[in-house]
């Protein structure tokens, strides 16, 4: 009887849809062209590459893994995948917490592991970096030139997903999004061409890639404007259960108009931790000032239970975030935005904490981190000054708080409950914010949850139509919509 069932399953598999047959054919053709660079489930490389994600709940089982070595390999692979109608996914460093964004079932997973090039121009003002790098690799390398790039705040985050989604950095108040400092992209398009996108060549694509995500092609090199650096002030500050209110009060004061948020050199990576099981809170903030005189952060340094902030190099400061960015558990990001004010900080903290205590106390291993991120109007002005981007936030609308609600949990059986709770609590927050005039529509792609639609919120609603037209021009066959379906797509 069991044997008959197995035959039935084999028959089902052979009658499976075109995509699955395509993926097997696609793998075979790739394997014959790129010998030794296509990996199947029986290999260690397959096991390592398919599990190299920050959150374990996004891990899937592709039909095979392809590890290209250069842009030409990707260009040839795109033509093979197109002609065999094979679905595929591209992984930079696997930090996006959306299932299927950078992973795929029944398809080819293209990993950018080999794209680790780092070169710098003779005057040190332009760094050319590969999409397989992590930000800490770049910061540690570029330090020898007394330069810095506008990358992620956490050490292990991938270069490419971060830059394609915009990029929130400690340097944003001065230089805007991470993407604002990209001066050229090398891109493989849907018809297998390798092109450059910069302010003079393919300038429409250049604009679209600054926030447009994975909708236009596979980026194989980023050329970044570098910025001068010497010593900075920064480090971890923590508050325990009995002092956590001081952290929230300090953050509320920082977020108020005229507060620290208006000083472009000051930045915070604030995480307020909520433990629903013990009904307790604590806080861990990375505080940063791009100079020596960090008085603007004194509300934090004066009240922290532990203060590790000091004068140091940018690379050393970022290396200190690595422990806070360790992964390999079930986790998901959820995003909402609000007008920056003291009231906003308190509203987010009170609403989410109350709801988590009452609804999540009985789920195993749940922790919530409220990353209440201040994004100053100077940030949006700097982005426009650098040439503009698809996100196109209006500085005259004021500073924002971009909330990243990070939920971690233990059991797969709780996946749906967590997703529902997160959606509901964000809706509740947005309703409260609307009542008091503090709501913002903006959804930051890199912190957004599965199913969210960031593009209609860009440029006050004006960017999406332009993005769609640019996509039509550079990907007329919709390769990056249908054959590479994962992540945040523009739709039609």
Ligand X SMILES: Cc1cc2nc3c(=O)[nH]c(=O)nc-3n(C[C@H](O)[C@H](O)[C@H](O)COP(=O)(O)OP(=O)(O)OC[C@H]3O[C@@H](n4cnc5c(N)ncnc54)[C@H](O)[C@@H]3O)c2cc1C
Helix (H, G, I), strand (E, B) or coil at 338: strand
- Chosen residue from 68, 92, 107, 459 binding ligand X by CB under 6 A: 92
**299-324: string of b/e by CB count within 10 Å (b at 16+)?**
bbbebbbebebeebbbbbbbebbeee
CA distance 474 to 457: 22
Is residue 136 within 8 Å of 155, Cβ to Cβ?
yes
What stretches of 377-458 show up as alpha helix (H) in DSSP? 377-385, 415-435
Encoded one letter per residue, x for contact with ligand X by CB under 6 A and - for no contact, window 12-51 reads: ----------------------------------------
Closer residue to ligand X in complex, CB, 68/276: 68
Q: Which stretch binds ligand X (CB under 6 A): 10-18, 66-74, 90-98, 288-296?
A: 90-98
Closest by CA to 196, choosing from 80, 67, 112, 71, is 71
Sign of CA dihedral 261, 262, 266, 267: positive
Shortest Å distance, C-beta 445 to ligand X: 8
- Chosen residue from 218, 347, 382, 391 binding ligand X by CB under 6 A: 218
Shortest Å distance, C-beta 106 to ligand X: 16
- Chosen residue from 26, 38, 39, 54 binding ligand X by CB under 6 A: 54
Closest by CA to 366, choosing from 358, 374, 378, is 358
Shortest Å distance, C-beta 404 to ligand X: 8
- Chosen residue from 26, 62, 158, 459 binding ligand X by CB under 6 A: 158
Closer residue to ligand X in complex, CB, 107/487: 487
N-to-C CA span, the chain: 48
Q: Which stretch binds ligand X (CB under 6 A): 33-41, 146-154, 375-383, 386-394?
A: 146-154
Encoded one letter per residue, x for contact with ligand X by CB under 6 A and - for no contact, window 159-188 reads: -xxx-xx-xx--------------------
- Chosen residue from 27, 64, 75, 90 binding ligand X by CB under 6 A: 90
Closest by CA to 205, choosing from 13, 475, 492, is 475
For residue 118, the tally of other CB atoms under 10 A from its CB is 13
Closer residue to ligand X in complex, CB, 71/438: 71
Interhelix angle 71-83/18-33, rounded to 10 degrees, is 140
Shortest Å distance, C-beta 313 to ligand X: 18
What tokens does 62 get?
């592709």
Residue 260 as a binder of ligand X (CB under 6 A): the answer is no
Closer residue to ligand X in complex, CB, 133/347: 133
Task: Please tell me the count of residues contacting ligand X according to CB under 6 A.
Answer: 32
Residue 107 as a binder of ligand X (CB under 6 A): the answer is no
Residue 489 as a binder of ligand X (CB under 6 A): the answer is no
Q: Which stretch binds ligand X (CB under 6 A): 4-12, 83-91, 306-314, 467-475?
A: 83-91
Closer residue to ligand X in complex, CB, 314/347: 314
Closer residue to ligand X in complex, CB, 355/471: 471
Residue with tokens 């996914």: 89
CA distance 475 to 469: 10
- Chosen residue from 87, 153, 334, 489 binding ligand X by CB under 6 A: 153
Residue 219 as a binder of ligand X (CB under 6 A): the answer is yes
Scan residues 433-452 and list those touching ligand X (CB under 6 A): 446
Shortest Å distance, C-beta 235 to ligand X: 16
For residue 247, the surrounding DSSP H or E stretch is helix 244-255
- Chosen residue from 68, 94, 176, 270 binding ligand X by CB under 6 A: 94
Closer residue to ligand X in complex, CB, 107/347: 107
Closest by CA to 433, choosing from 395, 403, 455, is 403
Shortest Å distance, C-beta 10 to ligand X: 32
Closest by CA to 370, choosing from 356, 359, 380, is 356
Shortest Å distance, C-beta 54 to ligand X: 4
Is residue 202 within 8 Å of 194, Cβ to Cβ?
no
Task: Tell me which DSSP letter residue 98 carries.
Answer: S
Chain CA centroid to CA 382, Å: 20
Shortest Å distance, C-beta 380 to ligand X: 15
For residue 21, the surrounding DSSP H or E stretch is helix 18-33
Residue 318 falls in which region: left (phi positive, over 0), alpha (psi -120 to 50) or beta: alpha
CA distance 407 to 369: 6
Q: Which stretch binds ligand X (CB under 6 A): 38-46, 88-96, 288-296, 431-439?
A: 88-96
What tokens does 480 get?
């990056």
Residue 131 as a binder of ligand X (CB under 6 A): the answer is yes
> If 0-12 CB within 10 Å is exposed, 13-18 middle and 19+ buried, where does residue 123 land?
exposed
Q: Which stretch binds ligand X (CB under 6 A): 89-97, 117-125, 289-297, 308-316?
A: 89-97
Scan residues 306-335 and list those touching ligand X (CB under 6 A): 325
Binding site for ligand X (CB under 6 A): 54, 89-96, 101-102, 112, 131, 152-154, 157-158, 160-162, 164-165, 167-168, 214, 218-219, 325, 446, 486-487
């Amino acid at each position: 009887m069991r044997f008959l069932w197995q035959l039935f399953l084999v028959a089902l598999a052979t009658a499976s849809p075109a995509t699955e047959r395509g993926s097997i054919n696609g793998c075979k053709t790739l394997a014959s062209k790129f010998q030794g660079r296509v990996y199947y489930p029986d290999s260690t490389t397959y096991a390592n590459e398919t599990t190299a994600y920050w959150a374990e709940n996004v891990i899937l089982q592709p039909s095979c893994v392809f590890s290209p070595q250069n842009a030409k390999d990707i260009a040839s692979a795109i033509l093979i995948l197109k002609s065999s109608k094979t679905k595929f996914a591209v992984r930079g460093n696997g930090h996006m917490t959306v299932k299927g964004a950078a992973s795929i079932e029944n398809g080819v997973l293209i990993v950018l592991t080999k794209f680790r090039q780092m070169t710098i121009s003779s005057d040190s003002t332009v760094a050319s970096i590969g999409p397989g790098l992590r930000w800490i690799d770049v910061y540690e390398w570029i330090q020898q030139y007394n330069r810095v790039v506008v990358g992620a705040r956490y050490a292990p985050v991938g270069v490419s997903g971060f830059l394609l989604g915009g990029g929130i950095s400690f340097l944003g108040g001065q230089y805007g999004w991470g993407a604002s400092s990209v001066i050229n992209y090398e891109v493989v398009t849907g018809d297998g061409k390798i092109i450059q996108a910069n302010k003079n060549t393919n300038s429409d694509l250049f604009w679209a890639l600054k926030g447009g995500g994975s909708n236009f092609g596979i980026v194989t090199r980023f050329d970044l404007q570098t910025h001068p650096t010497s010593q900075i002030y920064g480090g971890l500050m923590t508050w325990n259960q009995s002092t956590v209110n001081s952290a929230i009060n300090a953050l509320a004061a920082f977020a108020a108009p005229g507060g620290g948020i208006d000083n472009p050199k000051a930045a915070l990576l604030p995480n307020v931790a909520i433990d629903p099981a013990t009904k307790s809170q604590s806080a861990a903030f990375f505080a940063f000032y791009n100079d020596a005189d960090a008085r603007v952060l004194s509300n934090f340094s004066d009240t922290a239970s532990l203060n590790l902030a000091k004068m140091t190099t940018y690379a050393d400061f970022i290396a200190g975030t690595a422990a806070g960015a360790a992964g390999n558990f079930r986790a998901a990001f959820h995003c909402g935005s609000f007008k920056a004010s003291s009231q906003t900080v308190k509203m987010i903290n009170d609403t989410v904490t109350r709801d988590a205590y009452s609804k999540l106390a009985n789920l195993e291993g749940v922790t919530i981190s409220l990353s209440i991120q201040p994004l100053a109007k100077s940030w949006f002005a700097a982005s426009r000054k650098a040439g503009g981007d698809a996100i196109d936030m209006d500085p005259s609308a004021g500073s924002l708080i971009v909330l990243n609600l990070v939920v971690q949990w233990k059991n797969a059986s709780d996946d749906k409950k967590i997703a529902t709770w997160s959606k509901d609590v964000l809706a509740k927050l947005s309703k409260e914010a609307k009542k008091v005039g503090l709501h913002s529509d903006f959804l930051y792609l890199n912190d957004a949850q599965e199913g969210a639609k960031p593009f209609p919120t860009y440029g006050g609603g004006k960017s999406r139509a332009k993005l769609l037209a640019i996509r039509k021009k550079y990907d007329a066959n919709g390769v990056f919509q249908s054959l590479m379906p994962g992540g945040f797509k523009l739709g039609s």
